[in-house]
Chains A and B, each alone.
Chain A
Amino acid sequence: MSYHRRAGDATFELNLAPFLDIIVSIVPMLLLSIAFVQIKMIEAPTPQVVTQDQVKAPPKPEATLTLHVSKKTGFQFEVDDSGKKQNTNVNNVTGQFDMDGLVTSAIAIKTKYPQITKLQLAPDSDIAFDDLVKIMDRVREKPQSQRAAASFTDKAVDAKAENRQLFPDIVFSSVGG
């Protein structure tokens, strides 16, 4: 009997008013700093202007890779391997850029020249910036679907590893004509 009385007395109502005051104060502050769009960035350095006395002979790379982009003809990879040039064309499909073909060719070149990390982008003047960003995204990293296929065994740690990078260093080669 006494237990039932005690249990009945123990019910109480929580005072939520101060808690609500705090939340009402925080919400306007958070509303001011809300970001509905997440901004990220892409690095695309341009050649640096230096004076003649600053010029040092840089080590000559074994091979350089240039990607020409044209609305009419599509993509053209140009590999300059110690003066020996090799071109790979990726033609447009029904007047649109063949992005899948671009990735396939980029992977093939990366497989042949794994030491190349830098890609010189040389687009035509009428290419929109949006298309350039899409192209840069495609040649920077392998797509998710093709990462497993390109995996290899890392002998140093004896574990399965994957090289997801294609050409992460992209520069605009045609700046300044």
Chain B
Amino acid sequence: MAARGMRKYLDRRASGNFKIQITSMVDMFIILLVFLLKSYSTSPVNITPNDKLRLPQSTSAVDPIDVLKIIVSKTAVFVEDSKVADIKGGHVDISSVDNTDPQFIRPLFEELDKKAQHAKDLAKVNETVQFDGKVLMQVDKDLPYAALQQILYTSMLAGYYDVKFAVMTKD
């Protein structure tokens, strides 16, 4: 009796075809798609949130440009991806600072000078490339001006005088 009932149930189940209702899933995906399209960014500056690099907020509406980047976090100074100096307690590590000129960070200058020379060499063979001394700095918001002053001074001596600071929008 029980076996017959089971067979009846299985027959009924096998014969019954069904369709997955995907309408609500499509609705959800469209909402997600709209949100992602709104947050889509083609900005040349992309920052991964990090405890050691928090950018200040600003009302500036100028879009960033794709130029050489100097990143100044709470612990180090980077030129593009290469680390050039350490920062300890908000000050550039004394071993990186020049003995005769306390504003001059020698490893930073050497790296920037290399980049500037490379850009100038490129400009000689390619007219579309031009060395214009532009640099985009991503500076941690808690960095004191003393350290920033050293970095600005050194980059100025390397020919990078047109400084731009990356900031976050307030929206």
Q: Is A19 an interface residue (CB 8 A)?
A: yes
In the bound complex, residues from chain B placing their C-beta under 8 Å from that of A128 are 141-145
A126 in contact with B157 (CB, 8 Å):
no
B59 at interface by CB-CB < 8 Å: yes
Task: Provide the B21-35 mask, 1 if CB < 8 A to any CB of A, else 0.
Answer: 011011001101100
Query: Which of the residues B55, B140, B155 comes within 8 Å of A39, measured between beta carbons?
Result: B55
Residues in A with CB closer than 8 Å to B60 are: 40-42, 137, 140
Complex interface residues of chain B between 107 and 165 (CB less than 8 A to chain A): 133, 136, 139-146, 148-149, 152-153, 155-157, 159, 161-165
**A146 part of interface (Cβ distance < 8 Å):** no
Classify the interface of chain A: helix, strand, loop or mixed: mixed
Q: Which residues of A contact B155 (CB under 8 A)?
A: 46
Residue of A39, A44, A132, A176 touching B47 (CB-CB under 8 A) = A39
Question: B148: nearest residue on chain A (CB-CB)?
Answer: A129
- Let me know if A94 is at the binding interface, CB within 8 A: no
Number of A-B contacts (CB under 8 A): 163
Given A43-B62, A128-B144, are A38 and B41 neighbors across the interface (CB < 8 Å)? Answer: yes
A156 at the interface (CB under 8 A from B): no
Q: Is there a chain B Cβ closer than 8 Å to A175's Cβ?
A: yes
B103: A residues at CB distance < 8 A: 176-177
Could you tell me how many residues of chain A have their Cβ less than 8 Å away from some Cβ of chain B? 47
Q: Considering residues A27, A124, A172, A174, which has the most beta carbons from chain B within 10 angstroms of its beta carbon? A: A172
Q: A82 on the interface (CB 8 Å rule)?
A: no
Q: Is the CB of B152 within 8 A of A41?
A: no
Q: Are B63 and A41 in contact (CB under 8 A)?
A: yes
Set of chain B residues within 8 Å of A30, measured between Cβ atoms: 33, 36-37, 40
Bound form: Cα–Cα A115–B124 in Å: 40
- Nearest A residue to B23 by beta-carbon distance? A16
- State whether the Cβ of B2 lies closer than 8 Å to any Cβ in chain A: no
Given known pairs A128-B142, A175-B152, the reply for A35 and B39 (CB within 8 Å) is yes
Would you give the shortest CB distance from B44 to chain A, in whole angstroms? 9
Residues of B within 8 A of A141 (CB): 59
Given contacts A37-B47, A45-B163, contact A23 B59 (CB under 8 A): no
Contact of A38 among B136, B159, B171 (CB under 8 A): B171
Q: Which residues of B contact A157 (CB under 8 A)?
A: none
Q: How far is the CA of A125 from the CA of B152 in the complex (A)?
A: 13
Report if B58 contacts A (CB, 8 A). Answer: yes
- Whether the Cβ atoms of B152 and A172 lie closer than 8 Å is yes
Flag if B56 contacts A130 (CB, 8 Å): yes
**Across-interface contacts of B136 in A (CB, < 8 A):** 41
Would A23 and B36 count as touching, CB distance under 8 A? no
Contacts of A51 in B (CB 8 A): none
By a CB distance below 8 angstroms, the chain A residues around B62 are: 40-43
Q: Which residues of B contact A43 (CB under 8 A)?
A: 62, 162-164
CB pairs A–B below 8 angstroms (8 shown): A30-B36, A33-B42, A38-B43, A44-B163, A47-B156, A129-B139, A133-B57, A134-B56
User: Chain A: residues with CB nearer than 8 A to chain B?
Assistant: 16-17, 19-20, 23-24, 26-27, 30-31, 33-49, 123-130, 132-134, 136-137, 140-141, 172, 174-177
Please give me the 3 A-B residue pairs with the lowest Cβ-Cβ distance, nearest first.
A35-B41, A125-B146, A130-B141
